[in-house]
Amino acid sequence: DAGITQSPRYKITETGRQVTLMCHQTWSHSYMFWYRQDLGHGLRLIYYSAAADITDKGEVPDGYVVSRSKTENFPLTLESATRSQTSVYFCASSAGQGVGEQYFGPGTRLTVT
């Protein structure tokens, strides 16, 4: 399917477990982003990537790891999940070159028990 997809859509995990959220886009966009959305905080940027093998921290990177070996994929890993990481996670992509518009995936709702 064309566009940007995330998997899984829903995930329940236990404190201390490692969890990986997947993001895949079919537009060959250079930029990809991970956000978390929490009540009262809006959207907060976790990590972003300008191209394959280039990643950088956003506003709230602690406890998260990213990689980008291929342009189309940008997985987000919680190495040891904590309850404070319970949130809705959104992946987004943009074409770069100063265009600015980001296109969002449908989100992953993660619950850490």
Bridge partner residues of 12 (DSSP): 111
Specify the residue, 107 or 112, whose C-beta has the smaller distance to another protein. Answer: 107
CB of 23 to another protein, least distance (A): 11
Q: What does DSSP assign to residue 62? A: T
Find, among 101, 108, 50, 103, the residue nearest to 77 by Cα: 108
User: Which stretches of the chain bind another protein, using CB under 8 A?
Assistant: 31, 33, 40-43, 45, 48, 50, 58, 90, 92, 94-96, 98-107
Shortest Cβ distance from residue 58 to another protein (Å)? Answer: 8
Q: Which is nearer to another protein, 16 or 96 (CB)?
A: 96
Give dist(CA 13, CA 112) in Å, integer.
5
State the nearest-atom distance from the C-beta of 104 to another protein, in Å. 4
Our CB check for another protein shows the closer of 25 and 82 to be 25
* Residue 112: CB atoms within 10 Å: 19
Report the DSSP beta bridge partners of residue 81: none
